[in-house]
Structure 1
Amino acid sequence: MTLGIAVIGTGRMGADHVRRIDSVISGARVAAVADLDAERAKAVASGIERCSAHTDPAAAMAAPGVGAVLIASSGPAHEAALLEAFARGLPVLCEKPLTPDPAGALRVLEAEQRLGRRLVQVGFMRRYDAEYQELQRTLEHGELGRPLMLHCRHRNAASPSFFTTEMLIRDSVVHEVDATRWLLGQEITAVQVLRPRPSSHAPQGLGDPQLVLFETSGGAVVDVEIFVNCGFGYEVRCEAVCERGTASIGGSGGLRTRSAGRAGRDIPQDFTIRFADAYDREVQAWVDATRQGRVEGASTWDGYAAAVVCEAGVRAQETGERVRVQLAERPALYA
């Protein structure tokens, strides 16, 4: 049967997911939406048959036909929405972050353990990007030998007015945190942040760009260039350096043009363009698994681990020191 979904949060990401469920993927429909802005919720729900609009997430989850929840509200609201979904036994796709802080993530982790089964998939969409999947398969098969280093670039044309130095880690580098753990199958054990002088194009007070260094439990080293005011577009790259060779993604692929004495290619201007296919694949995979009674993808443990690493990264930003990552013991539910 078609899966009825309550979408919590109808801002940019939530509205895009509503569009995706309504017109792109199969096997699901938007049964309800919720947003603190009642008019925005009504506007998003309008035109979708049998979709109700609410200001209370609990009311949206209780709406007729709802069998699962997609959380796309602001990070601080995630914990309450997740616990409400747990109380109703509803499977959840939760956009990153699971919660903004490790303490909240640990509470969610403990609540899901008390249920005795997984209900949550965390929305780290790079795991569904075709290039990232190819890189992960290459590393897993081992033909290049053990991975020794990852070189990552994460660039954005310009940052929004509300963006802070801390958000470089919590909102941007968090994707490299999950990608590192997923690609290597290792935990991140320490973080260090190097801060060159800020770009003249960075807003006042924003320490942009930065170089973030990870150490992993398997002895690999990862460097992440984060530059959210590069000026030319949205660019994500990753190169794995292994014992017998290298593998890289995010390079010079895509359409190239030659005209008026110049050659080049278009560069995506934001993440919704670069990772559009990944978001489609992610939500379709979640719907398919949910309809079959399964939970796949990034788990609550992955969301918790990312929150702990980001917390260490923010401390490293502030102090300039190498900060160790201290994780709780991994529960058997997430083995």
Structure 2
Amino acid sequence: MTVRIGLIGAGGMGRAHVDRITNELSGGRIVAVADINLDGAKAVAEPLGAKAYGSGPELIADPDVDAVLIATFGKVHCPDVIAAIEAGKYVLCEKPLATTGEDCRKIMEAEQKAGKQLVTVGFMRRFDKGYNEMRKVLTDGDLGYATLLHCRHRNPSVPENYTTRNMIDDTAIHEIDISRFLLGEEITSVRVDTPRSTSKKFAHLTDPLVLVATTESGVRIDDEVNVNIQFGYSIECELVMEGGTTSLSDQEHARVRDQWGERHVICHSHVDRFHDAFNAEFQGWIRAVERDEHAGSTAWDGYAATVVVDAGIESLENGGKEVQVDMIDKPAFYA
């Protein structure tokens, strides 16, 4: 079976996913592309022999589309995700699932009404080999339980339209989700600290930030979000347990030692750092759709990350006060 995939959102992320599905993965084919810029949709669709649409609902209604991939801006995700659910089609939605907890709840309500888990959220780090090795160190139990989790998310630079709010809802959301994945528990409170800002930023940004969170069992998480660090894209993580630590540095490349010193190539974007994780995520999703099964993170995971983001933004806007995460009880549907 070839899964016929419809892409909503013909921007950079959407095009990257088209490339991986077409040239690197098996079992899936892009048969339709939708974008509010119809010419943009056509530019992606025509070389593939795919249909082009000017809106998500048109694509979702196409009987030739088996599953839907959403790569638009987060604030417009909710209607298309719900439309895909109501059409009975599996959907992989890039993070965030939605930009408010209320919209995420609407999605979960639609999915529960459908009686079937259809929504996967694009938290690709869950498929990264290094993070999974870290998780196994903890779950094996030899080093005891977790006490601290230190994270760093560093970008070389960001575009001028990137905002301080985006440092939480677009960037730190990855650490929020992977912290839940590693620790296996929810985050209950958040505060955002604002250290001295870098001179490399745009004037409207507060950069860097440090998001500090606490989990149900009392694990303390700190996440440095530093988006104009200049030298490269560096994702680091250290998990501290009772009897030891496990850590993940930026993506490993072959090291060179010579008369000029010791060095290795540094990643410059999420595209190269998480290339293999993206491929594993998408290949697993395609194979699951073939079997009529859900794969990857759930709508609940999308909701849980979003309400933590909400608390982080509230803290940021209120001088760094600690904010309790306002989270509903987890429905049995997602147990």
What is the TM-score of this pair, normalised by structure 1?
0.97
* Contact 1:128–1:282 (CA under 8 A) maintained in structure 2: yes
1:135 aligns with 2:113: no
Q: Distance in 1 between matches of 2:105 and 2:223?
A: 26
Q: What is residue 146 of structure 1 aligned with on the other side?
A: 145
Displacement of 1:232 in angstroms is: 0.4
**What's the CA shift string for 1:276-302, capped at 9, x where partnerless?**
111111000001111111102110001
Displacement of 1:65 in angstroms is: 2.4
Displacement of 1:62 in angstroms is: 2.7
Displacement of 1:120 in angstroms is: 0.3
**What's the CA shift string for 1:169-189, capped at 9, x where partnerless?**
000000011001110001000
2:120 aligned counterpart, secondary structure: strand
Displacement of 1:63 in angstroms is: 2.9
Q: What is residue 327 of structure 1 aligned with on the other side?
A: 327
2:48 aligned counterpart, secondary structure: coil
Displacement of 1:10 in angstroms is: 0.8
Q: What is residue 112 of structure 1 aligned with on the other side?
A: 111
Q: Distance in 2 between matches of 1:316 and 1:322?
A: 6
Q: What is residue 82 of structure 2 aligned with on the other side?
A: 83
Q: What is residue 183 of structure 2 aligned with on the other side?
A: 184
Describe how 1:296-335 pairs up with structure 2 within 5 A: 296-319=295-318, 320-335=320-335
**What letter corresponds to residue 204 of structure 1 in structure 2?**
A
Displacement of 1:251 in angstroms is: 4.6
**What's the CA shift string for 1:238-272, capped at 9, x where partnerless?**
10000110000125732212345232111111111
**What letter corresponds to residue 112 of structure 2 in structure 1?**
Q
Q: What is residue 223 of structure 1 aligned with on the other side?
A: 222
**What's the CA shift string for 1:217-250, capped at 9, x where partnerless?**
0110010011000010000011000011000012
Q: What is residue 234 of structure 1 aligned with on the other side?
A: 233
* Contact 1:91–1:119 (CA under 8 A) maintained in structure 2: yes
Displacement of 1:108 in angstroms is: 0.8
Q: Distance in 2 between matches of 1:23 and 1:168?
A: 32
1:289 aligned counterpart, secondary structure: helix
RMSD, aligned CA: 1.1
1:38 aligns with 2:29: no
Structure 2 residue runs without a partner (length 5+):
none
Q: Distance in 1 between matches of 2:143 and 2:26?
A: 37
Describe how 1:202-281 pairs up with structure 2 within 5 A: 202-251=201-250, 253-259=252-258, 261-281=260-280
* Contact 2:86–2:110 (CA under 8 A) maintained in structure 1: no
Q: Distance in 2 between matches of 1:259 and 1:36?
A: 52
Displacement of 1:137 in angstroms is: 1.6
**What letter corresponds to residue 108 of structure 1 in structure 2?**
I
**What's the CA shift string for 1:59-102, capped at 9, x where partnerless?**
21233521100111111111010111012100010100000111
Q: Distance in 1 between matches of 2:44 and 2:247?
A: 39
**What letter corresponds to residue 36 of structure 1 in structure 2?**
I
Displacement of 1:129 in angstroms is: 0.7
What is the TM-score of this pair, normalised by structure 2?
0.97
**What letter corresponds to residue 20 of structure 1 in structure 2?**
R
Q: Distance in 1 between matches of 2:5 and 2:148?
A: 40
1:2 aligns with 2:12: no
Q: What is residue 56 of structure 2 aligned with on the other side?
A: 57
**What letter corresponds to residue 324 of structure 1 in structure 2?**
Q
Displacement of 1:142 in angstroms is: 1.3
2:172 aligned counterpart, secondary structure: helix
The number of aligned residues is 334
Structure 1 residue runs without a partner (length 5+):
none
Q: Distance in 1 between matches of 2:24 and 2:251?
A: 28
* Contact 2:251–2:273 (CA under 8 A) maintained in structure 1: no
2:217 aligned counterpart, secondary structure: coil
What is the percentage of aligned positions where both structures have the same residue?
Answer: 42
**What letter corresponds to residue 177 of structure 1 in structure 2?**
I
* Contact 2:189–2:324 (CA under 8 A) maintained in structure 1: yes
Q: Distance in 1 between matches of 2:40 and 2:264?
A: 36
Q: Distance in 1 between matches of 2:298 and 2:252?
A: 31
**What letter corresponds to residue 21 of structure 1 in structure 2?**
I
Q: What is residue 24 of structure 1 aligned with on the other side?
A: 24
2:59 aligned counterpart, secondary structure: helix
